[in-house]
Amino acid sequence: MNKRLNIVLPETTVRTIDRLAMKGRRSRFIDQAVQHYIAAGSASALRARLEEAVLRDRDLDREVMEDWLAVDREQWHNIEKRNRARRNTRGVAKSTSQPSTRQ
């Protein structure tokens, strides 16, 4: 069962509808647009889109994680290398006192 409505839309919206909808199909076009808007905006639809994105992007997420893990490991390796070098140079003591002139 259909019901006639009297609505007011901006001229630009009407021109867009006329451009996109076939002649005599405005009501159907508007109905489909409203149904799509409702379906896309519901909480369950949002959850479904998020779940799809997780499944779609999981490989990308794994690649990004592996790239950053490699960078992280490299930085830790550099830090450990610097720390070892510091420990090795500390073992060699340099005298800061004046040389003895006594004989």
| pLDDT single digits (tens) 34-55 | 998 888 778 888 888 889 988 8
Q: What type of residue sits at position 20? A: L
Residues 30, 56, single domain; the answer is no
Evaluate whether residue 67 is within a structural domain.
yes
For residue 94, is it within any domain?
A: no
Q: How many separate domains does the chain show?
A: 2
1 & 24 share domain: yes
Domain that holds residue 5: 1-41
In a domain, 80, yes or no: yes
Compute CA distances 21 → 8, 31, 80, 84, 92, whole Å.
18, 11, 67, 73, 85
Q: Is the pLDDT of residue 100 over 70?
A: no
- Same-domain status, 37 and 65: no
pTM attached to this predicted model: 0.42
